[in-house]
Amino acid sequence: MKKIVVLTGAGISAESGLKTFRDTDGLWEGYNIEDVATPEAWQRNPEMVQDFYNQRRKSVLEAKPNAAHYALTKLEDKYEVTIITQNIDDLHERGGSTNVVHLHGIITRSQSSVKASLTYPINGWEIKMGEKCELGSQLRAHVVWFGEAVPMIETAAQICSQADLFILIGTSLAVYPAAGLINYVPREVKKYIIDPNIPTASNRSIIEMPYKATIGVPKLVDELLAQ
């Protein structure tokens, strides 16, 4: 079976009602990254950071997968599909995709604040201050903050290097190392990008599909299933 690798960003979940980061009215317009998404923010004000991610988790649990998440699952009938997502939501999994790599963690799990590899399921929507990991440190959201290591990046790079076809969906390609993954995809491999606002950084002989995800993804999936 041919291998399809899909790299997704916040844009694929936008039509499920989850805000992107850098669009007008995106999350980073309302918050400073330095106040909520860095180890320093956690040192300074853990309650605020915990509350920020508790609110994000609540929105994720209320959201539902959309036509783009569902369409990707259909590709599995004919291809070996790996989805590498920068998203911390679980909408690919709830849509039915079976092989999803989370580069930036997943908000439905908690993480030890002293050892990132210790993660746990969460009961309900909230991590409370005072809830501790097995080492006795406060639990936080299982997300990768700016300035932290991205433990899955090498696995993701390896997956990209073996792609027979590569699809980018709904990412501004503004954040590294994720944005550099496309450089691991062999030059001759066919590449597509689905985004209503194609980022200039993608400019490497990519087939551009300037549509919203719920329109563009089902369209491309139908084409690939018909081939």
Catalytically active residues, by annotation: 104
**164-183: contacts with ligand APR (CB under 6 A):** 170-172, 174-175
Report the interhelical angle of 213-226 vs 67-74 (nearest 10°): 10
Q: Which is nearer to ligand APR, 20 or 82 (CB)?
A: 20
CA-based end-to-end distance of the chain: 13
CA-wise closest residue to 153 among 220, 105, 215, 212: 105
> Which residue of 6, 10, 106, 153 would you call a contact of ligand APR, by CB under 6 A?
10
Which string of x and - marks every residue 186-225 that binds ligand APR (by CB under 6 A)? ---------xxx-x------------xx------------
Does residue 9 contact residue 87 with C-beta atoms inside 8 Å? yes
**Among 3-11, 52-60, 70-78, 147-155, the segment contacting ligand APR (CB under 6 A):** 3-11
- Bridge partners (DSSP) of residue 180 are none
For residue 157, state whether it binds ligand APR (rule: CB under 6 A).
no
Residue type, 58: K
Report which secondary-structure segment, H or E, holds 52: helix 46-62
Question: Could you list the residues that contact ligand APR (CB under 6 A)?
Answer: 9-11, 14-15, 20-23, 26, 86, 104, 170-172, 174-175, 195-197, 199, 212-213
